Amino acid sequence: MSFTIAIDGPAASGKGTIARAVAREFGFVHLDTGLLYRAVGAIGGDPILAALRLRPEDLSRDGLRTAEAGQAASRVAAIPEVRSALVDFQRRFALSEPGAVLDGRDIGTVICPEAQLKLYVTASDEIRARRRALELGADEAHILAELRERDARDAARDVAPMRPAEDAMLLDTSQLSIDEAVARVIEAVRLRSRR
């Protein structure tokens, strides 16, 4: 039986870094589900049609990690038909053997509510803006405004709003190093896998 880890949280909280490290540690496959929405936004045209026709190779497109792609992803993710078109892809991926780590904004609440481990990773707005600005070589104040706008949109959408699952482990990475955050999650996976 596969072991599924659902990691949710806002942009630049560290969820992707944690997800990749945990997947490597356990030999699990990893899916950054935000790339699905970024790819749909980058393809352009009718977002519903783009979601229905999305191919795995579309996740390797150039420019999917830019701030513009993130904003486009947040806009198309608010469209119920786009979300619906991508749910099956994500749920099939979550059943990969020996396990899968999916990170996004609605994994523990919508995509994989039965995941063996659910996490909600967060950090202060200022810390997240500083991290993203360093990553992109961008203006921190501008990034902070964009993050807050995106968080508000993602939390307020009618379909699958960004929020922690009721049984999610909360992990605030504001004052944690990457190694410390990853170690906490690895420990949680080991505890859950013994049950």
27 carries a ligand binding annotation: no
Amino acid at 164: P
177 carries a ligand binding annotation: no
CB 15 within 8 A of CB 123: no
Q: Of the candidates 16, 29, 28, which has an alpha carbon nearest to the alpha carbon of residue 119?
A: 16
16 carries a ligand binding annotation: yes
Q: Within a 10 A sphere around the Cβ of 58, how many other Cβ atoms?
A: 17
Q: Which two tokens stand for residue 119?
A: 């996490």
12 carries a ligand binding annotation: yes
9 carries a ligand binding annotation: yes
Distance between CA atoms of residues 127 and 135, nearest Å: 12
Distance between CA atoms of residues 192 and 43, nearest Å: 39
11 carries a ligand binding annotation: yes
The DSSP symbol for 90 reads H
4 carries a ligand binding annotation: no
188 carries a ligand binding annotation: no
65: Cβ contacts below 8 Å, ≥ 6 apart: 38
Residues belonging to the binding site for ATP are 9-17
List, as residue ranges, the binding site: 9-17
